[in-house]
Amino acid sequence: MPIALLLLKPSLIQSTRSALRHTSIPWLLVAIVMGTFLAIWLQQTPIAYINPGLAQTLLATAPLWLIPIQWLRGQPLSARSIVGALIAVGGIALLFGIQ
Asked if residues 28 and 21 have their Cβ atoms less than 8 Å apart, the reply is no
What pLDDT digit, counting tens, does each position of 48-61 carry?
888 887 887 777 78
DSSP type of residue 50: S
Asked whether the whole model's pTM tops 0.75, one would answer no
Asked if residues 15 and 7 have their Cβ atoms less than 8 Å apart, the reply is no
pLDDT given for residue 31 in this prediction: 81
b/e sequence 78-95, b meaning 16+ C-beta within 10 Å: eeebeeebeeeeeeeeee
pLDDT at 37 over 80: yes
pLDDT given for residue 15 in this prediction: 80
